[in-house]
Chain A
Amino acid sequence: MELLTPGTGLIIWQLIVFVGLFFLLSKLAWKPIISSLKERETSIQEALSTAEKARLEMAQLKSDNEKLLKEAREERDVILRQAREASNRLKEDAQLDAKKSADKIIEEARAAINIEKQAALKEVRTQVALFSLEVAEKLMKKNLSDDKAQKELVESYVKEIKAN
């Protein structure tokens, strides 16, 4: 039964040593350990929340960027389309102008040719009339002498004209 009866001396030693140990360890070990653990936990927590915030900001930035990029792309498309349209219009205009001026030139050329032709015809007609008058004059002069001689004369004049 001695096993079950606590010894007074041991109880006193145990209480003294344990209470002393408690104060010693509390001051020298538990206090720094607990505070360091807490400090580290809060710093880890802060780091994690900061990282999470940064991650969200990054995502926000990325989506903003994508939005901007999309807008830029759309704007570019619009600009390109407008440019293409403008260039097409310019080309068409130029073609039209060119055709117009070409037609005008042709028209003018044709008119000029006609005027020249008319002038030439008029000249020919005048010349023919003059020739006819000359021939008639000479014929009339010759006719007075000889028929034959007149004929020869006409021929000689004609030759003369041809030679001219």
Chain B
Amino acid sequence: MSVSSSILRRISILSLLFVLLFSGAKAQEEPMPEFNDHESTDKKEFNASEVILHHVMDDHIWHLFDGHYGTIYLPVIVYSSEKGLDVFSSRNFYGEHHNVVEYNGYKLEHNHIYLADSNKAVFDLSITKNVAMLFINAALLVIVFLAVAKGYKKNKGKAPSGIQSFFEPIILFVRDEVVKPNIGHHYEKFFPYLLTLFFFILFGNLIGLLPGAGNLTGNIAVTLSLALLTFIITNVNGNKAYWSHIFWTPGVPLPLRLVILPVEIIGIFTKPISLTIRLFVAITAGHIVLLSLISLAFIFGSIWVGFGSSIIVLFISLIELLVAGIQAYVFTLFTSLYIGMAIADHDHH
């Protein structure tokens, strides 16, 4: 009897937790359509796809929760040949009732800033939500790894301790399982870049899962930039064998070489593109799945659906933690692989 009653109690506590979780999510998600759809007459109408897309995309404001202090208005930095460089708060784009207004000859439409009179897009260097996330991520990396490096100075010749002993196995894993086997002897030149890449993506993925956080590593601009750096490093370091393989594949009959040439040239570009899309899709899809499950509760307007979807969300979140690690690993692995291919000696031909 006592056992079953304690189980019952646990279940009731858990369900209470879920209800709280889901009501918290509600507070966070529900107002978003109001923001974008400020003109819509029925404010209670729920548009799941809009909420979700809004959540995974970049924005000039950072909406954390409802209320007067729940929104951070991020700085806008724009440049246009007509008006030069301008810096102002994105608060200026929002009127008294959160309606989008023109400011100083600029207007905000679907997160893009245009010149109000000519409708010409301006060069937008604003500190958007994802740029802010980027700064936070970079700051976090610097703080964490300076602390780790300090540990190595402090514990010189001794066993690692604290944060150092937490990150050391991960660093060693990246070195021994990812970088060394794929690049080979000359891995040390690329190791700092690959470590930065791995931890940037890992930390970005993880903090992106926090409630209210921006979808940094699930943004195609971010993944594209990372892939671009990998592309540059790979091709700058490509040796003679690498380029001869691309332009004049050895050991292949002449007519086939002409066929292979365009394929190889396309291959140079498909590598970074696959890196870009893989990370973007994996992280964004995860966010979309989580948000869709949470949205179910609002679509059905039922607390029980919310309860059920919250349980699923819990487990999907655990999977997302796994995905965060896997995607950081995969991006680093493929980067190492591409670098390894570019600097390998093809003596066997």
B148 and A3 form a contact (CB under 8 A): no
**Is B58 in contact with chain A by the CB < 8 A criterion?**
yes
Q: Is the interface of A mostly helix, strand, loop or mixed?
A: helix
Residue of B nearest to A12 (CB): B125
B124 and A8 form a contact (CB under 8 A): yes
Docked complex Cα distance between A147 and B215 (Å): 183
Number of inter-chain CB pairs below 8 Å: 120
**Is B53 in contact with chain A by the CB < 8 A criterion?**
yes
Among the stretches A20-28, A60-68, A105-113, A133-141, the one at the interface with B is: A20-28
Please indicate the chain B residues that have their CB under 8 angstroms from the CB of A22 in the complex.
192-193, 196
Docked complex Cα distance between A18 and B134 (Å): 9
A13 and B125 form a contact (CB under 8 A): yes
Please indicate the chain B residues that have their CB under 8 angstroms from the CB of A161 in the complex.
none
State the interface size on chain B (CB cutoff 8 A): 49
Interface size class of A (residues with CB under 8 A): 20 to 34
Please indicate the chain A residues that have their CB under 8 angstroms from the CB of B57 in the complex.
2-3
The B212-239 residues at the A interface (CB cut-off 8 A) are 219-222, 224-226, 228-229
Question: Nearest-CB distance from B297 to chain A (Å)?
Answer: 24
Interface centre among A3, A7, A26, A32 (most CB of B within 10 A): A7
Please indicate the chain B residues that have their CB under 8 angstroms from the CB of A33 in the complex.
145, 148-149, 152, 171
B134 and A17 form a contact (CB under 8 A): yes
Q: Are A25 and B222 also in contact (CB < 8 A) when A3-B53, A3-B56, A30-B196 are?
A: no
A13 and B134 form a contact (CB under 8 A): yes
B196 and A15 form a contact (CB under 8 A): no
Which of B53, B126, B148, B221 is close to A11, meaning CB atoms less than 8 Å apart? B221
Docked complex Cα distance between A2 and B152 (Å): 45
Which of A8, A18, A25, A26 is close to B123, meaning CB atoms less than 8 Å apart? A8
**Is A91 in contact with chain B by the CB < 8 A criterion?**
no
Question: What residues make up the interface of A, taking CB atoms closer than 8 Å to B?
Answer: 2-15, 17-22, 24-26, 28-34, 36-37, 40, 43
Contact sample, A vs B, 24 pairs, CB 8 Å cutoff? A4-B220, A6-B220, A7-B128, A8-B221, A9-B128, A10-B128, A10-B219, A13-B127, A13-B134, A18-B196, A18-B225, A18-B226, A21-B142, A22-B192, A22-B193, A25-B141, A25-B195, A26-B193, A29-B145, A29-B149, A32-B149, A34-B192, A36-B153, A37-B152
